[in-house]
Amino acid sequence: MDKKTKDLAKEEASEDEGLAAASLREKIQTDYLWFASAALISVLAAFLRFFSLELKPLHHDEGVNGHFLTALFRTGEYHYDPSNYHGPDLYYLSLAFSKVFGLNTFSVRSSVAIFGFLTVVLALYFRKYIGKTGSLAAALMLALSPGMVFISRYFIHEILFIFLSLAIVLAVVLFFDRQKAGTGALIWMTLLMMLCFIPVSVMGISAFAGKNSSLIWGLGIAVLLVESVLIFFVMRMLIKWNGGRPVYLILASASAVLLYATKETAFITHGTMLIAVACVAAWFWLFSKAGVYSIRTKLVWSATGIAVLGGVVFSAVYSETLREFSRWFYGQFTPPLGPEQSWLFFIIALMGIVAAIAYFVFVLDTENGPAAEKPSYTFDENEWKNVDWILTSAAAAFVFSFLLVLFFTSFFKYPGDFSNFFSAYAFWAKTSSSDHTQSGYIGYVKWMLHLEAPLVFLSILGTLIAVIKTKSRFALFAGLWAFGLFLAYSIISYKTPWLALSFTLPMCLVGGYAINELISSKDRLQLFAGIVLAVMGTVVLTFQTYDLNFVRYDDESMPYVYAHTTRGFEDLMKEVKRIAAESSQKDDAAIEVVTDEYWPMPWYLNEYPNARFHGKLVNVTTSEMIIAKSGQLPDLPELYSRHFKFVGEWPLRPGVDLYLLVRNDLAGPNSKTIYEIEP
């Protein structure tokens, strides 16, 4: 080789090294940008969930949950009751928060808000499956979703249910895709084992040591050290077992059983997931056949044409119904239902138009653009052979069975309660046949368009892209998961706004995928459409989240505000506590609650041992206060006019007003006789 040839080879090698270095620098910069964006989204999610967490008064259901938690906190007693429709795990998780931060509204709501925050964090782990931009977009939608934020600030089971649903999916995906367990999985597994063993040990120590605090502390520290050592050795063994890969399947099993320990509707979520997996497998199998993929464009255009034609026919046949729906939808953003927000209606309408245009632009690009690529598979099927399936499945089954018995027997304290787990479905079947909201089959359509419209448009677009591209199994799964749950809950008569979160979750994931595919496209129109949709969606969700969670949180015209306690109720509680403080009995003041509608009042009065909730009129003369409702007015003078005066009227929730009656010697100068109450 002559000198000239050698020099040329060196120059080419130098250029290759330079290009490789530049590519590496660009990748590092991109990763830095991604992690910075992920951190900002996480901070935003935390802020929206924890800021002013005590702002809105407790809901009826929060009060009921608080009642069970208070009993568990003070007496250590909890019996699973299937008629309560919800499982036991939330109470034990909230108990830990209450022991650390006290039995108060902030601590119990924090025990839920933390899982709302972690749900956003989990979405970021899907960047390999819906794209880097897609995972950020999905996490941002979860962080900003008005419903996700609103219910994350509620002490009810729903957000824990949502977190566990996503944890199942993530654990299964990572089990098939990774050869070794990651740090996050190992930490989660360690916490799971601590959850299994430490509470049982604490209860055993308490039963053995009685009230001897020194003995309790001594035994507690000793047992904690022993269990920590055991957990350490178990974790080391798991890490050595196939690189810790089985940990993912064990975590999926644990999340699945905890889903049942959260709400009985877990079987709907699991069933929908399995159906979605089967549909994805069938779809990819179909397009793997020779000849089918080559006619994909014709199939897409045929299906699109049929859909457009069907839409035109539907619009013609049901034109009046559509006009009524349009008037209803516009009315949600204008007086008298709420403040003037017509600008929001027009942005949402424009976003729907842009999403439709983006779809047609994408379809036009299917032959020449990225959409024409051959299907790729998320998982390397050859790697499945390295898994010890029998032992891994046995471990997962053991964890499922152990946790099921653990929670439904109150940590083995009441073995007889386990059968109640199966009884719960009989109670649920009765409840599911009643439509308490009177919303009909399209109830969720109305609610979602009102407060989650960007998610509706983007999830539909993302699902269509996933179907047409036949490239991302996970995106197609998320779209079918969302559609399946939406269909299931729409068919079931029983409807509450928070049930919509079950399909809002996968809608965010597949919506993020839509943004990723549009923004990463080389086609400028798709790129522009993706940016416009992302910006408009962020604006709409941000405003509606602020409006719902910090301004109109007790406004009945807002979908997620379902039979909510009005803010005036807290003024009543302040007045009750003020009068009790001025009485000679202080916190021992007798407070007789004679109305049958009083939740969440027990939570607000849980520090008053003589607060008695009769639920009906009773004859009392010496108690400091009586709380009745306006519907009982005709009977109040005869029972209480001699010994009590009327202090004021406060709302509990729409349609229910409460009266505060105070003993004569405690009544102020502005009080009235009961006869003076105006109905």
Among residues 123, 137, 438, which one has the least CA distance to residue 447? 438
Rounded Cα distance between 171 and 122, Å, is 10
Kindly report, residue by residue over 507-525, the tens digit of the pLDDT.
999 999 999 999 998 889 9
Kindly report, residue by residue over 24-46, the tens digit of the pLDDT.
555 566 689 999 999 999 999 99
Rounded Cα distance between 223 and 226, Å, is 5
Kindly report, residue by residue over 435-484, the tens digit of the pLDDT.
665 567 788 999 999 999 999 999 999 999 998 887 889 999 999 999 99
CB count, 10 Å around CB of 489?
Answer: 21
User: 563 pLDDT band (50/70/90 cuts)?
Assistant: confident
- Check residue 6 and give its pLDDT: 56
Q: Residue ranges of the alpha helices (H) in 51-131?
A: 60-75, 89-101, 105-123, 127-130
DSSP states of 572-590: HHHHHHHHHHHSTTGGG--
| 202: pLDDT strictly greater than 80 | no
Q: Residue ranges of the alpha helices (H) in 365-472?
A: 389-408, 420-431, 443-451, 453-469
Q: Which two tokens stand for residue 277?
A: 């997996």
Percent of the chain exceeding pLDDT 70 equals: 87
- Check residue 101 and give its pLDDT: 92
Mean pLDDT for 219-223 is: 78
- Check residue 242 and give its pLDDT: 82
Residue with tokens 């509990």: 652
Kindly report, residue by residue over 63-111, the tens digit of the pLDDT.
999 999 999 998 888 888 887 768 899 999 999 899 889 999 999 999 9
Mean pLDDT for 374-384 is: 50
φ and ψ at residue 486, rounded to 5 degrees: -60, -45
Strand ordering across the sheet containing 611-613 = 611-613, 591-593, 625-629, 656-663, 644-653
Q: Give the N- to C-terminal CA distance of the chain in Å, as an integer.
A: 107
What is the number of H-type helices and E-type strands within the chain?
A: 25, 5
* Type of residue at 524: R
Rounded Cα distance between 287 and 476, Å, is 14
| 405: pLDDT strictly greater than 70 | yes
Rounded Cα distance between 238 and 248, Å, is 11
Asked if 283 and 470 touch (Cβ cutoff 8 Å), the reply is yes
Percent of the chain exceeding pLDDT 90 equals: 58
Asked if 418 and 409 touch (Cβ cutoff 8 Å), the reply is yes
Length of the chain: 679
- Check residue 23 and give its pLDDT: 54
pTM of the model: 0.90
H or E stretch covering 448: helix 443-451
Kindly report, residue by residue over 246-301, the tens digit of the pLDDT.
999 999 999 999 999 999 889 999 999 999 999 999 888 887 765 566 666 677 77
Helix 60-75 vs helix 105-123: angle between axes, to the nearest 10 degrees? Answer: 110
